[in-house]
Structure 1
Amino acid sequence: MLSFEEVEHELNIWGWPHDTWDLVVGNTTLAFNPKTLILTWITMLLVILFVVAATRGMDMRRPRGAQNIMEMMWEFIRGLVNDNMNPKIGLALLPIVITYFIFILFANLIGLVPTLSSPTADYNTTFGLALCTFILIYIFGIRYKGLGYFKHYLKPFVFFLPITIIEDLAKPVTLTFRLYGNIYAGEVLIAVLLGMLGGWIHVFGGFIASVVWLAFSIFVGCIQAFIFTMLSIAYVGQAVSDEH
């Protein structure tokens, strides 16, 4: 039986570099995972191609192919937004969260392609997405409530302030590790299955183990994209609601 590191080495047919790309800014060194960066770029390209295919030559009377899928996603996410906030306010948020959903879905599922992995299996990617949600909460809260948005830190009593701050800071943390943990765990499980295959690991670049876990991985990938998007909508909805 092969170890997790040995499986990763055997499946590295693309020659992913093991060292990080370092960027020195003043006295700070930023380290980037080249594999995550490249796969993120590939995911963004796939999202662009999908959206172009869905919107090019649109026919409102007879939608077909990718247009049908795009319209179903749009209507589904719009329903979630309208359920959580005023539709007029949600109109500004809708393009952002539909982009969230499509990108995260593609990022989760690209890891099912033999020899590739999901960008969302790297907590740096999920933290970046969660940080965007965290910033959106304050942007929408201040935009529609002004400085009065910060009154919720003093409710119901001023000594609840530390608890409210911790609650707000916990939002990006939980978003980060919920998505990362589920996607990374799925990839580790596939690697374990491959390790049990031993000498058969090279067969179709790990295709056998991927197919064994394929159905459940697709389900998890879709559910996690939905949960991240739903929670982002709910958090922004709380920020703009009158009861917040």
Structure 2
Amino acid sequence: MSAAAGHEASKDILAVVHENLNVWGFPHDAVNFGFGAMNLKTLVMTWIVMGLIVIFTVAATRNMQLKRPGKLQLMVEEMFQFLRGLAYENLDPKKGASLMCLLFSLFLFLLFSNLWGLIPTMMSPTADVNTTLGMALFVFILVQVLGLYYRKLGYFKHFFEPFVFFLPIVLVEELSKPLTLAFRLYGNIYAGEVLIAVLLGLIPLTATIFGGFLASVIWLSFSIFVGFIQAFIFTMLTIAYVSQVTAEHH
């Protein structure tokens, strides 16, 4: 079989599996709402993820105790302290403390989004490049705003260092940051879902279980690991970018 034929066969397998998994009847193409087209399934999954995060955080902090904390409370506290340690290592405590709510919310959203697609018939919002690109652009704008806030007009100095003719190179570097953030996250999560779909198409025994979803235990465990790692990398790079532009000596 040629490479082209193999590629077409893989596309056919993916199409069949995705159709079997589409038990909710989501449209395959973007829906036009009058002000622009968007993927309805991504929109619904994003709102579901946000609702799950609210339920999770409320359940973990509703009955907080100092002496005998619950399991959810311990989980949230450990994640928060871990992110706080990263922020304080790269930023001074005052700047780091002001960003903790944002960083913690960002990490939770990424984590839940990355893992949500592993549930039968669901999809990770971060498996859509529009989601990851939107988040990356938000981080990019945040970095520029914080750079201007903390360094005032001196922030623009680094665009011309060490020489003025380096400006195009520095601009390309700045603009590449949101692109690398977006496509790194999207590529890893989307590739994981595609490989799971391919495995399902190759194993007929699992094609009728849970609406066509039952990945192998090894690959599912690896996908969970990737979901955690990608959420950590995105958040860590956000901290690093903020640290670069807010440092007194850039």
TM-score, length-normalised on structure 2?
A: 0.92
Cross-structure match for 1:96: 102
CA distance in 2, matches of 1:154, 1:61: 54
Structure 1 residue 3, shift from structure 2 partner:
1.3
Cross-structure match for 1:48: 54
Please state if 1:116 is matched with 2:122.
yes
Report Cα offsets for 1:158-204 as digits up to 9, x if no partner. Answer: 11101111000000000000000000000000000011023641212
Higher mean alpha-carbon deviation, 12-21 vs 230-239, is at 12-21
CA distance in 2, matches of 1:117, 1:202: 18
Give aligned pairs, total: 240
CA distance in 1, matches of 2:227, 2:44: 20
Query: Which residues of structure 2 form unaligned runs of 5+?
Result: 1-8
Equivalent in 209, 229, 249 of residue 223 of structure 1: 229
Whether the 8 Å CA contact 2:206–2:214 is kept in 1: the answer is no
Report Cα offsets for 1:98-151 as digits up to 9, x if no partner. Answer: 111100000000111011110000000001110111011011111111111111
CA distance in 1, matches of 2:216, 2:39: 24
Higher mean alpha-carbon deviation, 215-224 vs 50-59, is at 50-59
CA distance in 1, matches of 2:184, 2:216: 22
SS in 2 for 1:95: helix
Please state if 1:24 is matched with 2:26.
no
Equivalent in 187, 206, 223 of residue 181 of structure 1: 187
Whether the 8 Å CA contact 1:39–1:118 is kept in 2: the answer is yes
CA distance in 1, matches of 2:234, 2:224: 16
Cross-structure match for 2:6: none
Whether the 8 Å CA contact 1:8–1:191 is kept in 2: the answer is yes
Map 1:1-244; keep pairs closer than 5 Å. 3-25=13-35, 30-198=36-204, 200-209=206-215, 211-244=217-250
Query: Which residues of structure 1 form unaligned runs of 5+?
Result: none
Report Cα offsets for 1:8-54 as digits up to 9, x if no partner. Answer: 011111111223221334xxxx2110000000000000011111111
Whether the 8 Å CA contact 2:17–2:212 is kept in 1: the answer is no
SS in 2 for 1:62: coil
SS in 2 for 1:17: coil
CA distance in 1, matches of 2:213, 2:41: 20
CA distance in 1, matches of 2:213, 2:43: 24
TM-score, length-normalised on structure 1?
A: 0.94
SS in 2 for 1:204: coil
Letter in 2 for 1:194: L
Structure 1 residue 66, shift from structure 2 partner:
1.1
Whether the 8 Å CA contact 2:136–2:178 is kept in 1: the answer is yes
CA distance in 2, matches of 1:130, 1:207: 30
CA RMSD, aligned part only? 1.4
